[in-house]
Structure 1
Amino acid sequence: MTETRPDPVDERLPRLRAALRDADELLVCLDFDGTLAPIVADPDDAATTPATGAALRTLDATPDVTTAVVTGRSLADVRWRVDPPDVYAGNHGLELAREAAGSVAVHPVARKRASRVEKVCAALGLALDPIPGCRVENKRLTGTVHLRSVPRAARPAARRLTRRVLDRLDDDSLSLSAGKAILEVRPDVPWGKGDAVDLLASSHPGDPLVAYVGDDVTDESAFRAVEPEGIGVHVGDGPSVASCRVDSPAAVASLLHWIASVFAADEPVGEGAVVPASLR
């Protein structure tokens, strides 16, 4: 699939409505930052809005719907930021918590390389300390260099230093990737958000229609996992392999309420069908 500018979601509503009406079960996977929560300068301040929180609770309470938050944040971080969905997939799916079962699974290679992530994060903290606004976060299984508060002129230097530290300390067991104003250090294993979504879908007791909503480059593997049989919704205006887009977390809230209404058959069919104003 090639990344293009997705269609506005209101242009895809007839297709989405038909898919939801035909489905017996639904698996809705959602990114956190930029999707359920607006992007903020300090990641520690990120929180769902009342509207997105309410929409997720409505969807989660809908019969035959499974909800999952799939995020680059660690489980320990995201769990207190959003009311419990059915599943949390933290660190890009390297750790998976199923709330009903009370179980947590961790990718075995990621667990073994956690000490290397810790070592690299400590070295990055020292190397990047002179760069204003730069912060290194150790998420146990992965590490993040936050650049959003770094002056744009200093970001190239931060990227060079990060690459230099990783090259000096690691033996190719870790990889470096870029997201929106971040650099991420991860175990060099073929696993990402798309793999986590595939696992959730394949381990589901039924055969659900799968939807994924996200805003970052790390979400593209998840869009590829669900499209074209499922529903991929990109948040924002950039290129994506998702089939449709919304503008913001506020529009995500409206979309989730609409999905719950259509799937539960509470929305009238035909001319009386309700389309959220923010999605028209």
Structure 2
Amino acid sequence: MTDDSDSPPRPLREELPRIRERFADASRLLCCLDFDGTLAPIVDQPDDAVPLREAEAALVTLANEPKVSTAIVSGRALADVRDRIDGPSVYAGNHGLELAHNGSVEVHPDARTRAIQIERVCAVLETVLDPVPNARIENKRLTGTVHFRTVPPAARPVVRRLTRAVVERFGGDDLELSTGKRILEIEPAIRWGKGDAVEVLESAQPSDSVTIYVGDDVTDESAFRAIEPDGIGVLVGDAEPSAASCRVQSPEAVATFLEWLGTTGVELLGEADGNAAPIDPDRFDRPFAADRSEPEGE
């Protein structure tokens, strides 16, 4: 996924007048959030990632507001990210390829059929990259991730070259490789990403709703493009070119913004013309198939 923008977003504080104005014209808020680097600081070992307590508390408060719908949209597997944070009514895992809402999970049908190839590629990479110190392969069923944040710098080009070669040989035209922050993502070669998932969530909102998306990585750019300029995209991190219109520096700043949304932001929203509707899988550009029902209490 590439970014077509050539300018960095403005600091969030400079955009607050526009945000206030946008909220005053809206009846509801759809707040979509990435997890790693957004609610949880980036760590060397992905298994150690936990959300900031302030961010999680603010998210729970926001999720309890009648005029607000909340969603986590993560590159992590759905089960993984759901275990790491509570509160939102919707979770989208694997960059939007699986979606949990209203007690059920839906999976993109094309991604489902290519899960065997993802498994094969991840298994081969386990062997091929085994000699590389600290290289880690994560099989997320629908996608795979090669983590090389703690790989010695001199060995990182080797990880990229070997990963690309394995994906090309065993994935063919069915799989593709994309980059993130010290990761390589192995994905089904289909036209679907976080932006598509966010558009599905938007389709269940009243027409006068406002959407916010907060994320920190290359994979979040499709979501920024999907909601801007009517919505509000917030990039977390340095002032780099992005399709987002706003920027905050860190997950700590995200927590502060969520606290603002749960107080001042909610008060600015106009009178609601209606509630959010159930998400209709038939409104997906490429319809999902029901995967399984979720057991109660999970």
Question: Do they fold alike, i.e. is TM over 0.5?
Answer: yes
Deviation at 1:70, TM superposition (A): 0.2
* Inter-CA distance 206–103: structure 2 relative to 1 (3 Å threshold): farther
Alignment map for 1:48-197 (pairs within 5 Å): 48-98=51-101, 101-197=102-198
Distance in 2, matches of 1:49 and 1:265, equals: 25
Contact 1:21/1:263 (8 A) holds in 2: no
Deviation at 1:135, TM superposition (A): 0.2
- What is residue 255 of structure 1 aligned with on the other side? 257
Distance in 1, matches of 2:208 and 2:21, equals: 17
Amino acid at match of 2:223: A
Q: Which runs of 5+ in 1 are unaligned?
A: 268-280
Deviation at 1:207, TM superposition (A): 4.1
Deviations 1:57-96 (A, max 9, x none): 1111112100000000001100110013110000000000
Contact 2:74/2:95 (8 A) holds in 1: yes
Secondary structure in 2 matching 1:12? helix
- What is residue 271 of structure 1 aligned with on the other side? none
Q: TM-score, normalised by structure 1?
A: 0.92
Specify which of 263, 266, 278 is matched with residue 264 of structure 1. Answer: 266
Distance in 2, matches of 1:67 and 1:60, equals: 6
Name the Cα RMSD after superposition. 1.3
Secondary structure in 1 matching 2:84? coil
Contact 1:32/1:69 (8 A) holds in 2: yes
Amino acid at match of 2:31: V
Specify which of 237, 241, 244 is matched with residue 243 of structure 2. Answer: 241
Distance in 2, matches of 1:13 and 1:207, equals: 19
Deviation at 1:257, TM superposition (A): 0.9
Contact 2:24/2:268 (8 A) holds in 1: no
Deviations 1:209-246 (A, max 9, x none): 11100000000000000100000000011221100100
Amino acid at match of 1:188: A
Secondary structure in 2 matching 1:185? strand
Deviation at 1:22, TM superposition (A): 2.0
Number of residue equivalences: 265
* Inter-CA distance 78–141: structure 2 relative to 1 (3 Å threshold): same
Contact 1:63/1:264 (8 A) holds in 2: no
Moved over 6 A (4+): none
Amino acid at match of 1:261: T
Secondary structure in 2 matching 1:264? helix
Deviation at 1:266, TM superposition (A): 7.6
Amino acid at match of 2:59: L
Distance in 2, matches of 1:125 and 1:144, equals: 11
Specify which of 39, 43, 55 is matched with residue 40 of structure 1. Answer: 43
Amino acid at match of 2:205: H
Specify which of 7, 10, 13 is matched with residue 4 of structure 1. Answer: 7
* Inter-CA distance 178–86: structure 2 relative to 1 (3 Å threshold): same
Contact 2:28/2:206 (8 A) holds in 1: no
Q: Percent identity over the alignment?
A: 60
Amino acid at match of 1:243: S
Distance in 1, matches of 2:113 and 2:80, equals: 21
Distance in 2, matches of 1:182 and 1:14, equals: 36
Q: Which runs of 5+ in 2 are unaligned?
A: 270-298
Distance in 2, matches of 1:126 and 1:105, equals: 32
- What is residue 278 of structure 2 aligned with on the other side? none
Deviations 1:13-36 (A, max 9, x none): 111111112210110000000000
Deviation at 1:178, TM superposition (A): 0.4
Deviations 1:167-218 (A, max 9, x none): 2212210000000000010000000000000111013355421110000000
